[in-house]
Structures are given as structure tokens and as C-alpha cells.
Chain A
Amino acid sequence: MNAPLLDIAGLRKTYGEREVLRGLSLRVRKGEVLVVVGPSGCGKSTLLRCINGLESIQGGRIRFHGADIAAAGTDWRAVRQRIGMVFQSYDLFPHMTVLGNIMLGPLKAQKRGRKEAQAQAEALLERIGLLDRKDAYPRELSGGQKQRVAIARALCMNPDLMLFDEVTASLDPEMVREVLDVMLELARRGMTMVIVTHEMAFARAVADNVIFMDGGVIVEEARPEEFFERPSTERGRKFLDTFIFTPTHNEKEIES
């Protein structure tokens, strides 16, 4: 637990006039799980996309392994091989089998041997319980299965850091659990992760630290038990309230 793996300071991102990230700073140490929550449009996804260079940034610095990857001349191909990303829409390659999807990066980007890459891909499939589907095409899988394969695809690159961008948001409710379980297991194995999610119970279970974002800034940063039980800001409290349903049928009965 020495220098942070990811160290972001004063990150600014604008689309034309609109400022999406307004001077954002955070640190993630090796083995830590950081969960980012906040209302839609608060810039959480943009934050993840800046970390692996899918978005250009207009100010601040992003240090990964101590090097400023937001500086000019960054070899993004090399950086991205060490940062895994999983998207909301899975985005498996439809023309490749499950195994083909997982092995593409290791074989082509990392130029690893086929035998060794396939052994790791199959071991990962075994871990997520989909080894028997290795020759299937994405179309033949359920949403939850696709997302688990997408996680395996990122893991097969042996990344130091995993980014998860609302990975359960487009899943049917009954499939959310199987994906979250894979992520919980990853956390237990010590994977460093930055997770953007709307699953509050999961966030609380998996997080070492929670960041609450609103309007492009970090409003609150706390341990999960603090944030979810005693949010220190009004905005944080309001946000958490939107996830609570209080029974109303009794009152209705009284009225009628």
C-alpha cells in the first residue's frame, strides 16, 4: 500500500461549451475497489472513458503506474493493454465465437502464443461457468452470459486495473446477479477496480471507497458504510433517497 496505481488530479473534460468534468481528483491504490455513483449525466461514464483514453481531456493529469498518461505522446495501445474495460452494452464481436472474442486481444495486441492464450481463456471461462459455451457466437448467449464473457475478454489481457461502466444497466433483473457475482469474486482476488453502477446494495458490498459525483465534481468521498448510512451532504442524501421506496398502501386504505 504505497504509491497509488491510479492518481487523477484536477481532471477537466469539456464538450464544446459544456463542462462535463470540472476539476476532479481521486486515487486508487492497488487492490482497491472504487465505486462511483451519481445521477445520470453527472460524468461518471466520461470519467472512465478518460482513464483509458477514449475521450481526450482538457485539463489535469491522470497518473497510471506513476506515469502521466494524459500527457502528449502516450502510447495508448500499451496503456489499454493494462486497463481492462467492460461496457454497458457488452460489445462482444458478433462475428467471432466466445473463445475468439477472448483471445483476440492476447493474440493480436499482446502477440502471445495461441496455446498459452487459449489455456488462459479456457481457465477464465471455467471460472465464470461458461466453458461449455466457448464455441458459441454472442447471438446465442443471454445478456448475462454475454456480459460475463466481456469481463473474461478484458481479464485475459491480465490488466492491472479494470473499469466497469454500468455493466448491469441493460440486463434483465434476473441476470444482474450472475454478473455481479463475477465482479465480487474479482474483488476478493484483489483486482483493482473502478466501478460505475446504479446497484446500491452491490456497491456497498464491493466497495472499499465510494465516490458520489454530481454535476461533474466529486461531492462526497467516503467509506461505503459511511456514505450509505450517513451521507455527509444534502445532495448525497437526496440521491440515496431516490433508491428507497416507503410503503404507501396503508395510507391509501385510510383515505378510501
Chain B
Amino acid sequence: MDLDYAFMLKYAPHFAGAALTALRLAFWGIAFSCLLGLACCLFRFYRTPALGRIAGAYIELSRNTPLLVQLFFLYFGLPKAGIFLEAEQCAVLGLSFLGGGYMAEAFRSGFEAVSRVQIEAGLSLGLGRAQLVARVILPQAFAVAVPALAANVIFLIKETSIFSVLALEDPTFLAKDLIGMYYNTSEALLLLVLTYLAVLLPLSLFLNRLEKRVRHAEFGR
């Protein structure tokens, strides 16, 4: 296969820039996903009136609709209701909406793993509910949930490829753009694959090590 290496070298920095855009948006989307997911999980776990049910409905809605449809709704649907959002705002909001449901389920697996007697042991020490959650339940739940949370992080970063429909300059958008302009399909797609690998492989390895360390902490040295 003949590849135009000069073309690839020329556009590699563009892909790096696009990757940074995607990562920046992913960072905020993932951060909000975690907060939203944790909140939903707490509402559901402690059967908070009304909020617990709303969280349950939200989790099903977010996990059972594609991100593409969610973004279309935010970008093309909301303006019809008079709400205009920037493309980047839509991207972060959409990713948070999708990720929140997945993160809530990941946290749930952790919360369910904390035994009832652990909670009773905490109560017996006179801890309040907030202290109990922060000191006894969350650290243990988090350790159990880390593999699922890490898988969600990878999944959500890959989902940023859909941001291209909002005309945001992420790697996928850039590749489509280059193919449209120069017809260098092979080069552009190869660069695209390499870009995602360059981002996700190190992250994946890092998360693997994090998982091991958290497990370690739980089980003692």
C-alpha cells in the first residue's frame, strides 16, 4: 500500500490538536457524569422520596437512547423551544447525560457490595448518616466500583467521536474533513486510528494500574 507520508506528517499535529479538543470536552463530560451518577446512585440507594424515582427514570432514559439522538435533541431540538446552546455546551451536556446513567450503575455495584453489618458497625459508633457514607460506605463502594467506572471512562472518551455531528473539530471530524478535501482516505483514517490509540492505550494502562492499587488498599499491603 502506498501511503502519502508527507501528508500524514503534515496533518499529525492537527490530529493532536483535535484530540486535545475531544479530551477537554470528555474531561468535563466525565467529571459531570461522575457527580450526576453518584447523586443518582445515592438517591436510589437511600430511596429518597421522588428524587429516587426520578433518578431511576433518568438512568433508563440515558442508557437506552444513543448519544447521537441526545445530541440532536440538544443541538437541533432545544432551539425550537427557544434554548440556544453552543456546540461545545451541547457536547458536554450530552456526554454528561449519557455518562451519568452509566456511572450511576457503576456506583450501584459498589454500594451493593458493602455489607449491612459494616453499616451497623458504623452506626454503633454513633456516626451520622453523612459521616457513615463518607467514611465507611463510599471508600469501600468506590474500591469495588473502580473497574466499572474505569470502563465507563474509556467508553465515554470513545463516544466523543460523535461530537463530529456538531461540527466540533474532534479527530473524527478532522478525518472526515480531510477526506472530503483531499481524498486521502487511507492516510486520514490511519491517522484517526493512531490518534485514538495514542490517547486510549496509555489511559487504559493507567486505569489498570489504578484498579490494582485501589484493590491493594482495600486488602491491605
Query: Taking beta carbons and an 8 Å cutoff, which residues of A are in contact with B?
Result: 52-54, 76-81, 83-85, 87, 89, 91-95, 104-105, 108-110, 136-140, 153-154, 157
- Contacting pair A89 B124 (CB below 8 A): no
Known A93-B136, A104-B135; judge A77-B221 contact (CB<8 A): no
In the complex, chain B residues whose CB is within 8 Å of the CB of A53 = 123
Chain A residue at smallest Cβ distance from B220? A137
In the A-B complex, the 9 residue pairs with the smallest Cβ-Cβ separation, listed nearest first, are A137-B220, A105-B125, A81-B126, A109-B126, A91-B121, A139-B220, A85-B124, A80-B126, A95-B139
Known A87-B120, A93-B136; judge A140-B220 contact (CB<8 A): yes
In the complex, chain B residues whose CB is within 8 Å of the CB of A84 = 124
Query: Taking beta carbons and an 8 Å cutoff, which residues of B are in contact with A?
Result: 115, 117-118, 120-128, 131, 135-136, 139-140, 143, 217-221
Chain A residue at smallest Cβ distance from B131? A108
In the complex, chain B residues whose CB is within 8 Å of the CB of A77 = 126-128
- Contacting pair B125 A80 (CB below 8 A): yes
In the complex, chain A residues whose CB is within 8 Å of the CB of B220 = 94, 136-140
Bound complex: CA A240 to CA B130 (Å):
46
In the complex, chain A residues whose CB is within 8 Å of the CB of B143 = 95
- Contacting pair A109 B127 (CB below 8 A): yes
Bound complex: CA A54 to CA B122 (Å):
11
In the complex, chain B residues whose CB is within 8 Å of the CB of A94 = 140, 218-220
Known A93-B118, A95-B139, A137-B220; judge A154-B124 contact (CB<8 A): yes
Bound complex: CA A53 to CA B127 (Å):
13
Nearest CB on A from B169, distance (A): 43
In the complex, chain B residues whose CB is within 8 Å of the CB of A139 = 219-220
From A87, A104, A138, A153, contact of B117 by CB (8 A): A87
Bound complex: CA A80 to CA B131 (Å):
15
Looking at B124, B127, B135, B143, the one whose CB has the most chain A CB atoms below 10 A away is B124
Bound complex: CA A84 to CA B218 (Å):
25
Nearest CB on B from A130, distance (A): 15
Further pairs besides A53-B123, A77-B127, A104-B136: 9, Cβ < 8 Å:
A79-B126, A80-B124, A84-B124, A87-B117, A93-B140, A94-B218, A109-B126, A137-B219, A157-B125
In the complex, chain A residues whose CB is within 8 Å of the CB of B120 = 54, 87, 91
In the complex, chain B residues whose CB is within 8 Å of the CB of A54 = 120, 123-124
Known A52-B124, A81-B126, A109-B127; judge A91-B117 contact (CB<8 A): yes
- Contacting pair B221 A153 (CB below 8 A): no
From A78, A91, A140, contact of B126 by CB (8 A): A78
